[in-house]
Structure formats: structure tokens, C-alpha cells
């Protein structure tokens, strides 16, 4: 398999949970700092989406889902244009917390 570009791996990471898994394993074989950054960011967003899903029977689930979905869209756009920019404050924390994804 050819080594996809870091930008391609980053965008794949944002394509559902399956895309996250695929990007993680491709990046594990062909390391890229840019792709790793976006994979960690998506992992944090996935946790937010899972929490919204768990809390969907309560109002907080609804109010959690839409901001996370908006931040996901913003992150996809940043990956597409090749920027290592994400959610203010949280993306930096995601990089710190999810070191096991390196």
C-alpha cells in the first residue's frame, strides 16, 4: 500500500468512527505528526459525540450534540486546508490526554 499524504490521513480520521480507526492504523505504519494531531482531535470529538448519545434522553444531550457536531465540521475544514488548528483549549488538551494514540 502506498503511503497516503498526511492531509489525506487527517481527513480520513474525521470520516466516522470507522474512518478514525482506518486513519489510526495507516498512521501507525506511516507516521505523520499532522495526521496524529488530527487523529487525537477526532478521538476527543468522538468521546463528546458518544456522551451526547448516552445523554440523548436529557436536554443536555441535545445541547452537547450540536456544538460537538459544529466543532467536528470546523476540524474537518482545518484538516482539509492543511492546518493544525482545532478547538480552542480542548485540542491542546486532547493532544496531552491521548498520548497513547501516538
Convert the pLDDT of each residue in 39-93 to its tens digit.
999 999 999 999 988 998 888 888 888 999 999 999 999 999 988 888 888 888 9
pLDDT for position 3 = 80
Average pLDDT over residues 1-25: 87
Asked if residues 101 and 24 have their Cβ atoms less than 8 Å apart, the reply is yes
Asked if residues 27 and 39 have their Cβ atoms less than 8 Å apart, the reply is yes
Instruction: Indicate if the pLDDT at residue 1 is higher than 60.
Output: no
Amino acid at each position: 500500500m502506498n503511503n497516503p499524504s498526511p492531509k489525506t490521513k487527517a481527513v480520513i480520521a474525521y470520516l466516522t468512527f470507522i474512518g478514525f480507526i482506518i486513519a489510526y492504523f495507516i498512521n501507525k505504519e506511516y507516521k505523520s505528526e499532522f495526521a496524529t494531531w488530527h487523529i487525537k482531535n477526532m478521538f476527543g470529538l468522538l468521546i463528546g459525540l458518544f456522551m451526547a448519545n448516552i445523554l440523548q434522553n436529557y436536554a443536555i444531550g441535545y445541547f452537547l450534540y450540536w456544538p460537538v457536531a459544529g466543532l467536528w465540521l470546523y476540524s474537518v475544514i482545518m484538516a482539509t486546508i492543511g492546518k493544525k488548528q482545532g478547538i480552542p483549549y480542548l485540542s491542546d488538551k486532547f493532544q496531552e490526554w491521548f498520548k497513547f494514540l501516538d
